Structure 1
Amino acid sequence: MSLFKRMLQLHAMSILSFSSISALYMLLIIWIFPTFADKMDAMNELISGMPAGFIQAFGLEAGMGSLGEFLSSKYYDMIFIIILSIYSIMITNQLISQFIDRGSMAYLLATPYSRVKIALIQFSVFLTGLLTIMIVTTIVGIWGQSTIVTNSDQMDLQAFLEVNVIGTLVFFAIGSMNFLLSCLLDDEKKALGAASLVVFLMYGFDIIAKLTEKLSWLEYATIFSFFQASDILRSGSASVDSYIWLIVIGFVALSISIWIFKKRDLPL
């Protein structure tokens, strides 16, 4: 059995679990939308009385009059980020630093693969899981809105697809950064802690940057500034610059990870 298939088998249950959780949350929020649809005027009036920074931080500028706006505020701005952040932190840590910390890396290096190929195979397991989660969530979202929501309230399909594509690229970049930490640190707990700190600091920076103009410069310190679900669902498309930057950040972090794993003296 190839190394990729073996690693994928080891993480199959985790990938299935995260896919199910993400899809179920998506379906639940779509399911409850018609219940709130008749009360949107009252909710939008309540939102309009909130502080401007709070409204911007949670993508409520346009209120919650449509399914896209409802999904943005109830799913993409928090639940989606938490689910994919936990997945990216946990899986990337298990692919390299866990093997080093537990003395199992010697078994991987004993395979007929070079260090570069081992690193690429391990990262491809993370990427396969990420794509699986996003594809399942997207399919369930499309099915859910076509089944549960009336045609007049359905969101633009292209905008919905773009949100999920950008979301995939955001966590490709974050996963690459976490993979870099996993290749850099020998201790499993330290790698897990460092990855968690980086991800949740970036999420915090994104919220703070939206809350106050004085700290808006923090948006340059976080990848989450590229993921503005409410703007995409409202305008129908994402910025081309967002695609470019996320792909560049992801590939640069992955390249550095592979170089470190290839060159460093691993404790076996």
Structure 2
Amino acid sequence: MIQLTLYKREMKNSIKILCLFAAVLSLYVTMIIRMYDPKMMASLDQFYEAMPELMSAVGMEAGATSLIGFMISYLYGFIFLVFPMIFCIVRGNGLLAKYMDKGSMVTLLAAPVKRSTVAVTQMSVLISGIVLLLLYSTGLELVVASTSYPGELAVSDLLKVNVALLCLQLFIGSICYLASCLFSETRYSIACGAGIPALMYVLQMLANAGEKTEVVKYATFFTLFDANGVLAGDRNAVTGAVILGIGAVAFYWAGAMVFCKKDLHI
């Protein structure tokens, strides 16, 4: 139920942005994984103890005793949350709101194509971009880890954590998509689609900063992503990832319904 020509055109735009994000992630992932050294863990923990609130705010924790634990501490609290989130914001706004704002939505609907087809096609573009970015990140982690520390990273552990991460990023993408469907002007689409995830991440940083602000974690959906919990098989962590996945489906569906019933003034 997608318009193949439109999908190919939009994916070309996504690939350009994906290449940029892939280059940035390649730099950070390679650098951070190669920093892992069991003999140097004590030194890194001392650095954490010097600035505990700052390190905790961006999800970094001391005491990692394995490669996967080290990766979770230094990649999954900031790098793998923020950069894919920025991709969702950039592409989410450019899928529908941009066309409506510029008055070029008539071009998309000029051919005998249903609104629902356009909505699903643009949704598929965003989801494809998120999946490709996380697939690349997963492959990069496996390659760097296996070449630098052969046999120290269990593939199954990494996949469990990254499936949960995918649920989170799809949820963020669904917020951006819904905002793009709701608003006909990019300024409002960006304000909502970018503002909500950014605010939620700031709240998560506050929740991580210390006991006095820990209660804030109940106000942000980022709390539902618990990489260490998923790795340990904790039921609450797995449930949180499932909730994010279900929420993503609901928001994507709501966005498509809004767009199909929207008065586009064309």
TM-score with structure 1 length normalisation? 0.87
Counterpart in the other structure of 1:81 = 81
Partner of 1:157: 155
Q: Is the 8 A contact 1:23 1:140 kept in 2?
A: yes
SS in 1 for 2:146: helix
Cα deviation digits, residues 196-223 of structure 1 (max 9, x gap): 2111110011122233445434323322
Deviation at 1:54, TM superposition (A): 5.8
* 2:138 counterpart residue number: 138
Distance 2:133 2:234 in 1: 22
Name the amino acid aligned to 2:155: L
CA contact (8 A) 1:68 1:230 kept: no
Mark the runs of 5 or more structure 2 residues left unpaired by the alignment: none
* 1:44 equivalent in structure 2: 45
Task: Give per-residue Cα distances to partners, 1:39-70, cap 9 Å, x unaligned.
Answer: 2123324535665x666545455523332232
Please tell me whether the aligned partners of residues 162 and 237 of structure 1 are also in contact (alpha carbons under 8 angstroms). Answer: no
C-alpha RMSD over aligned residues: 2.3
Counterpart residue number, 1:14: 17
Query: 2: CA distance between counterparts of 1:45 and 1:10?
Result: 44
Match of 2:209 in 1: 211
Q: Shift of the alpha carbon at 1:186?
A: 1.3
2:259 aligned residue: 261
1:123-173 Cα distance to aligned partner (Å, 9 max, x none)? 10011111111111111111111111143xx23322211111111110111
Asked if the contact 2:225/2:241 (under 8 Å) is kept, the reply is no
- After TM superposition, the structure 1 stretch with the greater mean CA deviation from structure 2, 72-81 or 210-219, is 210-219
Residue in structure 2 matched with residue 129 of structure 1 by the alignment: 129
1:38 is paired with a residue whose SS is helix
Shift in CA distance, 149/236, structure 1 to aligned 2, threshold 3 Å? farther
Gaps of 5+ in 1: none
The alpha-carbon distance between structure 1 residues 45 and 18, as it changes in their structure 2 partners (threshold 3 A), is closer
Q: Which letter maps to 1:100?
A: M
Deviations 1:3-24 (A, max 9, x none): 2112212322112322332234
Q: Which of 186, 189, 195 is equivalent to 1:188?
A: 186
Cα distance in 2 for partners of 1:206, 1:216 equals 9
Give SS of 1:33's match.
Answer: coil
CA contact (8 A) 1:59 1:230 kept: no
- 1:9 aligned partner, one-letter code: K
CA distance in 2 between counterparts of 1:223 and 1:217 reads: 13
Change over 3 Å in CA distance of 1:30–1:237 after alignment to 2: farther
Match of 1:147 in 2: 147
- Aligned mates of 1:57, 1:231 — CA distance in 2: 18
Q: Check whether the contact 2:229–2:238 (CA below 8 A) recurs between aligned residues.
A: no
